[in-house]
Structure 1
């Protein structure tokens, strides 16, 4: 897609804001770039900012509205960059500050907005603040973190029973006998947001990147910055399995909302608008909706939709509850099927041909729903999870611990295939930091481009239609209305548009709701009836 064709898209989004009183993010499609696995410009096998910049035309042609970049800040990389040592500098692995500036400018020239990660729940253990805290226990520097004495006669037991999301205790002991909290890896000490210097520092960090021109922030662990008073015991193990399903004293505390309100005021002080996106795990849709009240964040990922099984009853329940919850606070729902922390949907839905068929259908369902949608790099190619990585190559910190996350997140972070018949498939001049499968050549961008049956062309067509049909995506186009359908089938309409999803393993004949405009699998219709393929989704013009 040429610059001339894409540049007006940014202007049209702004015009839409003016006309509707809404914002560009309300129905935006935003593409997540996992920087180290997107494109490598210098041949070290690790993706970088110049590589992202060179591949921006792919995103423009795909038809997304914005790009979200995972952390590229100075970091020891104990957790893929989510352990930040300097929030205002680019890690040499990924380039330098001028590369970040040029990437933002290039994206804007193509009509793409840029969202960057910010990691406020914890720092790296090599952050100057934590180094100071370890060096001088009496200086008060430890107040910026959660240092506590241990329990037991000699303080040899952790202060409470909290567990790390990655497995094992959420506390580590220093050489002088004190314990510090880390809800993730020991290299990621949690910040104490009751200390005024923490809030002041992050306001400064946000302004630094806003001044550089970014359009917003994805807020990592947006639900975690405030802990329950007294840090009470939970009284049970396997706590990582409770996240997003039950109340926990270290997540989703009411106090986080005042932090988000202060950030919203900061964002609103900039011309833009600039947005905040909460990575928030909450036990209910209603609790999640609190993060997107009018004076808080603009978006919050809907992980209930991501975790929904291939079951139309469960899907409808999640869709209805999600739309109702966000509508109650005047916000729109943000749909997501994958990211850098979860098994890719092709594999999650069963793998092989069936998993791919279901993933294609789920994508069309998601893109038909009112609100915004996030795509994770490679899902537009139909990439599966890589489950057979040798243990010695894995870098997920949870892999080395137990009873937390599954520790296999590396499988969704394999570098992208761009072109060619063998690894690294155009990812860069040499190899790649994680090995790519030998059978990925047919999945590359080049191989799928121009193939009308490919997953890439399905996504391109879907995003083009999403812009063209008012009933697609836009939360302001009118209500979503469910129509009666057989078991295993979803059928809903919006003004001028209908969507059918057949989750069954066999084809099903139904009255045709309109004229088919796009389907995840070939449909047969005589204008009066339609034979819906198994595991498929179809869009209809009314």
Structure 2
């Protein structure tokens, strides 16, 4: 395997709106990020992934872009961005931008020209997906991922336009070569600014199936599940190869595609080692295991993922992509609940130790790790108790649809599900210190700070040598120093496949082997693993070892053996 710079790098994801407010308007901004670059550098990360900072009406957290080549004034201006880029590079940090090109904002000039005309010769009409009504209603049964139909009717033209997300996020027509070239020109323009790569939002959805057929519909669901027939569409690889030829291959970048519905076989095409498309993909299988068994409710539940299912899924991706494609490693991001609340135990007694355990299990696997802001100090879900506390469009829409319109759930149940899964859990402001508003802003933030900020914050973490922060810092340092973490072959420990309490795996190359042993429960368990003589205890999340065959609650140990 050819080693590439991003294979032993670590990415730190910044959600700008919630990271640091520098001008006291309650919203994070670019100057705030600049002021915190030294913190990210101290952690040891190599790359900063910025969620969208482009001009946007902010219907969906900036994922509705009105101008791809301008900065959202809420965050600052292009001078601020260029200062951020320059300062980051001076500190040895790279900047990866978010590319959102499955759809634009309805405020984008392209869409204004598209919806404002019925002229078939207007080239912008074909920049989006327009269809005539069928039997007086929507062209097909597709549902939006944000609830409701995926089609909105335009009175002027008498046609519907497609939006897989909010109605203010019309889908671009990638079958139109002018659309593709406009996007590629924009990407090359950002390349000229000196950025270091792109994370590509829902890139697996850009190629729609011919004739836009109806989608499978679950019993009780109002609309068909469009994702099942759109993901990994007929021309997606053709279009990404074209993007690679015209943009990506010209730059030594990191590229990662968000690929809903991807399988390991598809991932080998998106992220193959010949670098003809992307470097890696985000898959969603392991973060979909705790979805509702009633498929009409989608992800909304409050169940915990079983270790058997989680381990099987992570191991499948490790084994199937080995030597053929590259994994991205993550527990959480701006769309997912907080790591320790979801996969660990955020009770005060276990929060730190389970956060460290989860970090070690992930960071010793093969792939590029992603750390979402606050994960490195063990931030938790906020557990709102009222729908009026939410700001997330997906959460609000789902509540109205499932509780008020379709009466599939009582209000109190849906509130529990939102507390477990809402995207707002990840978007509460970064907890910098124990002062008012957690040091994020001097005024009331756009989204409430988690009330536990006085107990969980960066200042305290930096003052505690046993904090979650320093554990992450050590994991990153080990990744940079030990080639086996990048190139070692992954295998589950024999017999571990059916263990409901402990996750144990090895990594091996010609010179060394690693053994990772992790207790996923709040109980003391006993296991007999053969730790080879002369093995070195590389990292652990307890200060000592009581018994070699005993694992305390959420205990993790990693051993290194030199052959």
| Pair in the same fold by TM > 0.5 | yes
Q: How does 1:216-365 map to 2 (within 5 A)?
A: 216-237=197-218, 248-271=228-251, 273-293=252-272, 294=274, 295-307=276-288, 310-327=305-322, 330-349=324-343, 350-353=345-348, 354=350, 357-365=353-361
CA displacement, residues 7-43 of structure 1 (integer Å, 9 cap, x when unaligned): xxxxxxxxxxxxx742111232101100100111111
Query: Given the alignment, which residue of 151, 155, 161 partners 2:134?
Result: 151
1:90 corresponds to? 71
Contact 1:164 1:240 in 2 (8 A): no
What is the rounded CA distance, in whole Å, between the counterparts of 2:448 and 2:436 in structure 1? 8
Q: Which residue number corresponds to residue 15 of structure 1?
A: none
Deviation of the 1:333 alpha carbon: 1.1
CA distance in 2, matches of 1:241, 1:290: 30
Aligned residue runs from structure 1 range 340-419, under 5 A? 340-349=334-343, 350-353=345-348, 354=350, 357-388=353-384, 390-402=386-398, 408-419=422-433
How far apart, CA to CA, are the structure 2 residues paired with 1:89 and 1:239?
39
Match of 1:189 in 2: 170
Q: Which of the numbers 516, 527, 531 marks the counterpart of 1:499?
A: 516
Counterpart Cα distance in 2 of 1:389 and 1:85: 33
Structure 1 portions without partners, runs of 5+: 1-19
Residues 438 and 401 of structure 1, relative CA distance in 2, 3 Å threshold? closer
Structure 2: gaps spanning 5 or more residues: 290-303, 403-416
1:112-163 Cα distance to aligned partner (Å, 9 max, x none): 11100011100100101111122212153321111111122xx2x1110000
Q: Which residue of 2 aligns with 1:122?
A: 103
1:464 aligned partner? 477
- What's the counterpart of residue 49 of structure 1? 30
Shift of 1:269: 4.3
Could you list the per-position Cα deviations for residues 407-459 of structure 1 after superposition, in whole angstroms to 9, with x for gaps in the alignment? 8322210010112x343121133331111133311211101113133211221
Q: Distance in 1 between matches of 2:555 and 2:387?
A: 36
Name the structure 2 match of 1:452: 465
Q: 1:120 to 1:416 in 2, by over 3 A?
A: same
Alpha-carbon offset, residue 105 of structure 1: 1.2
The CA distance in 1 between the partners of 2:515 and 2:247, in whole Å, is 37
Q: CA deviation at 1:61?
A: 0.6
- Partner of 1:161 in structure 2? 141
- 1:10 aligns with none
CA distance in 1, matches of 2:248, 2:555: 42
- Residue 558 (structure 2) aligns with: 539
TM-score, normalised by the number of residues in structure 2: 0.85
Tell me, in whole angstroms, the C-alpha distance in 2 between the residues paired with 1:188 and 1:336: 27
Aligned residue for 2:83?
A: 102
Task: State the match for 1:66 in structure 2.
Answer: 47
Cα gap change, 1:108 to 1:365, in 2 (>3 Å)? same
CA–CA distance in 1 between the matches of 2:224 and 2:438?
A: 39
Across the aligned residues of Structure 1 and Structure 2, the Cα RMSD in angstroms comes to: 2.5
Partner of 2:492 in structure 1? 482
